[in-house]
Each structure stands twice: as C-alpha cells, then as structure tokens.
Structure 1
Amino acid sequence: MKLFEGFSQYRPQALGVLRIVTALQFIEHGTQKLFNFPVGEHAGALSGLPLAAGILEFAGGILLALGLLTRPVAFLLAGEMAIAYFMAHAPRDFFPVSNGGDAAISFCFIFLYLVFAGAGAFALDNRRNA
C-alpha cells in the first residue's frame, strides 16, 4: 500500500528498537533467575542449566541492548531459547500457550532474525564497523 511505502526509510531504526526492547525484556528473565528481581518463581539457589540460562540471559541481553556483537550473541541466545523450549516447555503440553513456551518461541525467532538482519540503528556494532 502506498500509505506505508515511506516507512521503509525507518527500517534501521525500527530494527534497533526491536533489538533494544527485546533485549530489555530478556535481561529481566536473567535478573529474575540470578538476583530474584523482580521477585518470581525462577529464583533460588541456581546451579547447572538454570544458572547458565540466567547468565546467558543477563549478559547476552546487555550485549544485545548495546548492540555489541549482535549477530553471534543473537545466534547463541536463539539456540538457548530453542533448547529451553524443547527441554522445559514442550514436555508439559503440545500447545505453546498451554506449556508456557510462547515467550521462548518468540525470543528464539526474534534472535534468529537478528542473526540475519544485524543490529539496526543505535548499536555499538555500527561504530566498530565504521
């Protein structure tokens, strides 16, 4: 539609906003696991996979929010979310809305998109490549 044709010029900024907002939400999952903030069911004495997930979510989320090493970090986090879905959510129920895995699927595919699309605007990667 001609109404939306002018929006294409803002594609890098929209991608940057998608990356930042997704990263900030992802950081929250890490802080909940690692620091019990915000208070939630996932906190506690962590070890093994939950500890690794918390570290990846917190550190990876910060790197993505900054737009630093976006493609490799997004690739790693997409894999983490795929593993999380099939290990923690899929065994509970077939349907993502019933097994609590809809966020994991969304994160996985947004991160996978970032692997191919890059960081967009507002990223430190843009300064490194300049």
Structure 2
Amino acid sequence: MSATTDASRGKLIIPVLGRLYSSLHDAGETVLRVVAGAFLTIHGSQKISNPFGAAEMVEGLGFYPGALWSLVLACTEFFGGIFIAIGLLTRPAAFAGLFVLLVTVWFHWVTMSQGFSGAEKSLLWAAILLFFVIRGGNRHSVDARIGKAF
C-alpha cells in the first residue's frame, strides 16, 4: 500500500472504507481504460468502414492530403481504441487519441465558435486519455502481461 493511500485513509470520514478503496483502485482504473477504449473503438468503427470518408472534413481543418489524414484518423480511433481497451501500447495509443481529441477541441471551440459548450465532451475525453498517457495500462493490461511498456 502506498504512502498516499495510507495518508488518504487517515483523512476518510469512515476510515474502514480505505481498505475497500484500495482494493478497488486497480479495478476502477481498468474499467475506465476498457470503457474509454471500447467507446473510442465504437466511434472509430464508423470511420474504419469508410476510411477515406472524412477526407473533405480533415482538409477543411487544414490537414492535407485529406485521404491520408482520413485514414490516419480512422485507424487512430478504431485500432487505438482496441489497443487502449486491452492495454497494448497503451501510452502511444492514448497519445494518438489525445492528439485527435485536441484537434476536435480546436474545431469546436475555435473553428465552429462554439466555445466551451461545443468542446466540453472532447475536453473530457482528452483528460481521460491524458490520464492513460501518463499512467499506462496498469497491471491488468497486455503491456503488463508481456512485461513491456512504452
């Protein structure tokens, strides 16, 4: 148990809950990673079925050639989501997804002039992926099972 957990337990209103929180720490993080990866995969599944379908849209954002960046976008969301969900190359996959989400923040906030309300969901997703860029896949991941992490 880490010093942070011990210190936090002493501050709990119901200290006995500290053991419960400690026992669920890795499981909670794993659930967040699997759900985030699965949702990113589902979102990307529409793009992977037509990987060049977003070419005009990405060119409208200034990414040329559109066909290349449309393919990269589709693969990042679909395969990156799978990698995040299973915890394989978790940090690079999360970083690629984070980049995509920061572009969507720019698109909604600046290009579409929607401000925070338009970019809110992308900001939340970006924060979740930033967490996995920093933390990696944890002990319940393919990275941990093969003993290698990026």
TM-score (norm 2): 0.70
Contact 2:53/2:70 (8 A) holds in 1: no
Counterpart check, 1:119 vs 2:137: yes
Alignment of 1:1-130 (within 5 A): 1=12, 2=15, 4-6=17-19, 7-35=21-49, 45-47=53-55, 48=66, 49-86=69-106, 88-90=107-109, 91-97=111-117, 99=118, 101-129=119-147
Letter paired with 2:98: A
5+ residue gaps, structure 2, are 1-11, 56-65
Deviation of the 1:120 alpha carbon: 2.3
5+ residue gaps, structure 1, are 37-42
Deviation of the 1:29 alpha carbon: 1.2
Deviation of the 1:94 alpha carbon: 4.4
The percent of aligned pairs where both chains have the same amino acid is 27
Q: Distance in 2 between matches of 1:77 and 1:44?
A: 18
RMSD (Å), alpha carbons: 2.2
Letter paired with 1:5: G
The structure whose Rg is larger is 2
TM-score (norm 1): 0.79
Q: Secondary structure at the match of 2:27?
A: helix
Deviation of the 1:95 alpha carbon: 2.9
Contact 1:13/1:120 (8 A) holds in 2: no
Contact 1:85/1:105 (8 A) holds in 2: yes
Change (3 A) 1:44 1:115: closer
Q: Distance in 2 between matches of 1:81 and 1:127?
A: 29
Q: Secondary structure at the match of 2:137?
A: coil
Contact 2:47/2:53 (8 A) holds in 1: no
Q: Secondary structure at the match of 1:52?
A: helix
